[in-house]
Amino acid sequence: MPIKTTRMFVVAGALLAGCASVNPYHDASRPHHRPHGFANNYPPNPAYQRPDIGFVEAWLARIRNWSSDHAGRAPLAPILPVEPDLAFIHGNPAEPALTWIGHATFLFQTGSGVNILTDPVFEERASPLPFAGPRRLQRPGVPLAGLPHIDAILISHSHYDHLSAQSLRTLYRQAGGPPLLIAPLGVDLWLEKHVTGGDRARIVKLDWWDKTSVRGMDVHLLPVFHWSARTPWDRNATLWGGYAVTRPGFSFFFSGDLAYSKDIQDIAARFDGFDLAAIGIGAYQPLWYRNSHVSPDEAVRIHRELRVRRSVGMHWGTYPMGQERLDQAPRDLALARAAQGVAEDAFFVMRHGETYRPHKEGK
């Protein structure tokens, strides 16, 4: 049996470990709660459905995607990182700034002396196994050892490209004390078991529309259309979501993973726009992926409907998650901006390691 095929079965076997469990946070009065997990607020888009693909076939398709070579997804031009401005990052207590580390991992400096990290994944593979799964094709824009002290971490959901035990354990042991871990319902239990050694003092669990305070800022968990899983047997056992971080004078939206849905209008109705946003633009091919992720065209629509001043595209160019080329999303983003009348500097992409400073650039 070829090595690649053997490894596919090993991956499948590892993922098949586990079983369905009772949702300890089930609240029958909340429509998105289920006895064994959670559900989206709205039905999936039928245009993106794969009626021919079932439970097993869907997981085998993902494993094939993880195990394949990346020749067909190679960028048309090199994706070039920049050296991070560590002097600025470590000496910045008062200016809003966003540094792209890669994929969905950002260092968000709030302008109020608080450093927030989103979905920190620094590993070589976004996978439960070291020899298989999506392999990082760009080094982290800022290495773990180069980060300033992190005050809070926002975790959007349980997928391996957004939730890493190894990265979180390292961050939890950082000098100066552990960060606050903010997570959707159910992910808090995983953190307690796999990261904090049973200590819940630095874990905050949130349901959709819940908020917590972090040194004068409000952090809200927002409903978005997606799903969760660590194995084939725990689908939607834990909640997922995007985030809004708000304080007087500045607001930030972090999409996590999402497909386009009416949730966007629901969020727009509760917030008076955002100054800055990080919105996923990658892993939208093949078409059925768009019931999990947005295309660049849908991302620009989200930017407009949420009334965001400046948006940054994420979830591209780091791990080969979709079937499009690694640099296809920025090209399609440019087409989407032009089609929807959005200025080039209103929704753009960053280089790995780059820091965006809205106030410095007059944006």
Query: Please, how many CA atoms are within 13 Å of residue 157, restricted to the half-sphere of its CB?
Result: 29
> Residues in the chain, how many?
363
Weakest-pLDDT range from 68-77, 218-227, 348-357: 68-77
The predicted model gives 202-211 an average pLDDT of 98
Over residues 105-134, mean pLDDT: 91
The yes-or-no verdict on residue 10 having pLDDT over 90 is no
pLDDT at 15 over 80: no
SS3 46: helix
CATH superfamily, domain at 73-356: Ribonuclease Z/Hydroxyacylglutathione hydrolase-like (3.60.15.10)
Q: Give the span between the Cα atoms of 78 and 327, in whole angstroms.
A: 9
Strands (E), 111-168: 115-118, 152-154
Question: Is the per-residue pLDDT at 74 higher than 90?
Answer: no
Q: What pLDDT does residue 64 have?
A: 64
Neighbours of 216 (CB within 10 A): 11
What confidence tier does 63 reach under pLDDT thresholds 50, 70, 90?
A: low
Q: What is the mean pLDDT of the chain?
A: 91
Tens of pLDDT along 288-345?
899 999 999 999 999 999 999 999 999 999 999 999 999 999 999 999 999 999 999 9
**16 vs 145, residue with greater confidence:** 145
- What is the domain partition of the chain in residue ranges? 73-356
Residue 120: strand, helix, or coil: coil
Residue 66 banded pLDDT, cuts 50, 70, 90: low
pLDDT of residue 131: 72
The rounded distance, in Å, linking the Cα atoms of 148 and 135 is: 26
Choose among 167, 170, 179: nearest CA to 204: 179
